[in-house]
Amino acid sequence: MRSVGLKPTAQASSKLNLLLAIVGLIVVLVAVNLGIKKYEIHLATAEKVLLPLAPVDPRSLMQGDYMALNYAISEQIMAAIEKQLATTEDQQPIESLYSLSQDGLVVIKKDTQGVGHFVRLVSPSEEDQLSLAKEELLLAYRLRQGQLKIATNAFFFQEGQAAAFEQAKYGLFRVNDKGDPLLTDMVNGDFEVIDPE
């Protein structure tokens, strides 16, 4: 009498591997498409705001196909965080700022040119019931080891376009109602989007 083995045949194993590969591909495609849709909605519905660029180390400004970015508002946010740390109940030393890791929100106000200016930090306790005045919006930031980041610290462009982007004075962001910024363009001193073409 012939015994029936429990091992799947090579053909069944091959079909199972193919099925798993197809399911994996579908999951990846759905995740990618959801990510694309999220950014499309962000671009279509978020408010435009300009953030003035602050000087960075000239040696790192242009690195072939990208430019290093720093924003003037970052210094104001850092100063406000330092002041907040200095006035906490337990009197934490300011040096703790450089080991601090936090995500936060600030209120900014747009002027007539659409340039965002720092108003104040938002405390975690007021995030849910915060009401904003006209032309005010939230802006999210990340603080890691004394380095404050707003969206990104680099702007990428095609090779050979560095000369056009040297004119940049502002970063153009789309900021949603949660304060999430998305850098879309560089803008010159005449408030024109830089188009290297």
Distance CA 82, CA 63 (A): 31
Instruction: Parse the chain into domains and list their residue ranges.
Output: 1-45, 47-187
pTM of the predicted structure, to 2 decimals? 0.72
Q: What values do phi and psi take at 94, rounded to 5?
A: -60, -25
Q: What is the pLDDT of residue 58?
A: 46
Q: What are the residues whose beta carbons fall under 8 Å from the beta carbon of 61, sequence distance 6 or more?
A: 67, 68, 166
pLDDT on residue 54? 86
Tokens 């950014």 belong to 39
Residues 6+ apart with CB under 8 A from 112: none
Beta carbons within 8 Å of 187's beta carbon, 6+ residues apart = 50, 168, 169, 170, 171, 172, 193, 194
Which amino acid is present at 135? E
| C-alpha dihedral (117, 118, 123, 129), degrees to nearest 10 | -20
Question: Distance between CA atoms of 10 and 45, rounded to whole angstroms?
Answer: 52
Taking only the tens of pLDDT, the chain with its 197 residues reads: 455 555 557 777 888 888 899 999 999 999 988 887 877 777 777 899 999 998 765 445 555 577 888 899 999 999 998 888 777 655 555 556 667 788 999 999 999 999 999 999 998 778 777 888 889 999 999 998 888 999 888 888 887 787 888 888 999 999 998 899 999 999 999 999 998 87
